[in-house]
């Protein structure tokens, strides 16, 4: 009985890749391609407007071949979501570490909005996938990292700040700015970032 090859192209009956087996270099390339295609399609059409069939067509393979690598559309969207969040996390972590504790919140805001300004196709995926298809994060998972950054800045400045509330407010403001940019592409997120930095600086006492 023929099976799918390691690149996921069908030559007979479809099998799924063994999740316990390390993917081959060819499989890694195919998975990266599928993730990239998914990011592009969701950026253009949204989560609901992106189907497994459209992903397969854009990648030039069959839908069954996609399922060789990912068990369902939600699994692929989740992988794409994790990919863009990892890239964002690297950029923000570098900026915050470089800025130092006292200026961490400002660096976080500027780096987050700056990175997503420079990678506009990531914005819709982050907004729409965070809450669908198993990609959702709990409220604590969303605010806790930023609360740690705010708390470090508050301690560095000896400022009495409720880090949790500040992180929730900042995170909500960033989400709103990104949503506005999604619907109004010429919205100036750089200026919005500076206004948001001014607000958190006022809270932190500078």
pLDDT tens figures, 66-97: 999 998 999 999 999 999 999 999 999 999 99
Is residue 10 over pLDDT 80? no
3-state helix vs strand vs coil in the chain, percent to 5? 70, 0, 30
Residue 15 has a pLDDT of 59
| Ramachandran area for residue 12 (φ above 0: left; ψ -120 to 50: alpha; else beta) | left
Quote the CA–CA distance of 200 and 169 in Å, as a whole number: 10
Identify whether the C-beta of residue 105 lies closer than 8 Å to the C-beta of residue 150: yes
pLDDT band at 165 (very low <50, low <70, confident <90, very high): very high
pLDDT band at 191 (very low <50, low <70, confident <90, very high): very high
User: 3-state secondary structure string, 78-108?
Assistant: HHHHHHHHHHHHHHHHHHHHHHCHHHHHHHH
Which one has a higher pLDDT value, 71 or 130? 71
When pLDDT is averaged across residues 173-178 and rounded to a whole number, the result is 94
Which one has a higher pLDDT value, 145 or 135? 145
Is residue 9 over pLDDT 70? no
Is residue 133 over pLDDT 70? no
Tokens read off for 148: 């740690």
Which one has a higher pLDDT value, 20 or 190? 190
Residue 131 has a pLDDT of 59
Supply the pTM of this predicted model.
Answer: 0.84
Residue 20 has a pLDDT of 67
Out of 5-14, 40-49, 66-75, 115-124, least confident range: 5-14
């Amino acid at each position: 009985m023929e099976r799918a090859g390691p690149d996921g192209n069908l030559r007979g009956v479809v099998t799924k890749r063994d999740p316990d087996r390390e993917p081959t270099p060819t499989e890694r390339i195919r998975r990266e391609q599928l993730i990239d295609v998914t990011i592009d399609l969701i950026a253009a059409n949204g989560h609901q407007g992106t189907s497994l069939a459209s992903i397969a067509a854009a990648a030039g393979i069959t839908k069954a071949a996609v399922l060789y690598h990912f068990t369902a559309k939600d699994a692929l969207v989740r992988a794409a979501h994790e990919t863009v969040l990892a890239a964002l996390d690297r950029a923000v972590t570098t900026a915050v570490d470089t800025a130092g504790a006292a200026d961490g919140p400002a660096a976080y805001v500027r780096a987050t909005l700056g990175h997503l300004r420079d990678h506009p196709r990531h914005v819709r995926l982050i907004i729409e996938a965070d809450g669908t298809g198993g990609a959702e994060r709990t409220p604590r998972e969303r605010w806790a990292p930023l609360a740690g950054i705010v708390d470090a800045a508050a301690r560095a400045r000896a400022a009495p700040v409720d880090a949790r509330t500040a992180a929730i407010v900042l995170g909500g403001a960033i989400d709103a700015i990104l949503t506005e940019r999604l619907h109004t592409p010429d919205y100036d997120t750089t200026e919005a970032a500076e206004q948001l930095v001014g607000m958190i600086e006022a809270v932190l006492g500078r």
